[in-house]
Amino acid sequence: MAPDRPGVRFFKMSGGGNDFIAVQDPSFLTPHHVETLCSRGLSLGADGMFSVEQLASGEAPTVKMTYCNADGTRARLCVNATRCAALLAFHLGWATDRVTMVTAAGEIKAARTGEFEVALELPPPRRAIEKAVEVEGDEIVGWFVDTGVPHFVLEWPENLAAAPVAELGPVLREAPVFEAGANVDFVRIVSLHRLEIRTFERGVEGETLSCGTGVLAAAAVAVQLGRADLPLLALTTGGFELSVDGSVGEDGSIAAWTLAGDARLLAEGVLSAGALAIPGPPLWSD
């Protein structure tokens, strides 16, 4: 199947290890296009796909971002993708070093803080809720918090290299206690200002090299429990560190926060017919 609009311009981007395909036409984000183009080994491959639209220029540049998971489903927010979308706005000349991003989760202010770094101002989280999930007769206790998308945060006291992300992640991700499913974060709190994290993401249905909303969720839980304080550095699977900063209220909850980290434009080009001409799953003989 050839693209219905040949010559669509695309950008390949990466934010903290999450990789994305970006386009400037939101109508191109059909479930078929997104799922096909994000297929690794068969097409471009990515953790997700987003579009950018210029809404306003001048002193208050504003850009709308629409984000889809790799399986073609729409998501309210992906902060790693939002940083990349802001960087793309700078690359396209829509803004210089500051821009307001309009997302399904609300407006987010973005600022360039380095050649390959963007910081986002985000609304403060609601308080995390302790939840227990039963898995094969064992009760697993963690913390549920929504940072634009739902997360289930598990404190992992040992080396994260041995954490059962691939085994336990998909089971917890679709536990009935989470109505719409949840990303699952395995978190080790190293010190007052440092944590490490691995995340199993819904929509990708696997571990990703980074999850910005997961870093925020882990930071929110760690601060609420009194185990950490801002500013906080989070080491992700991709080897990048994301920085969470802000202010904590008198009740110990986060009153305002920012997340800064890696955002890079890897390549840009034009989609060809082969990008969408991929086969379906194999039908093996009985």
Is-catalytic flag, 38? no
Instruction: List the catalytic residue out of 38, 68, 78, 84.
Output: 78
Full DSSP string of 228-279:
--SSEEEE-TTS-EEEEEEEE-TTSSEEEEEEEEE-EEEEEEE--GGGT---
Is-catalytic flag, 78? yes
Q: Degrees (nearest 5) of the Cα angle 235, 82, 56?
A: 150
User: What is the Cβ-side half-sphere exposure of residue 261, based on CA atoms within 13 angstroms?
Assistant: 31
Alpha carbon distance 242, 231 (integer Å) = 11
Listed in sequence order, the residues at least 6 apart from 217 whose beta carbon sits closer than 8 Å to its beta carbon are 125, 128, 145, 147, 151, 153, 183, 185
The catalytic site residues sit at 78, 211
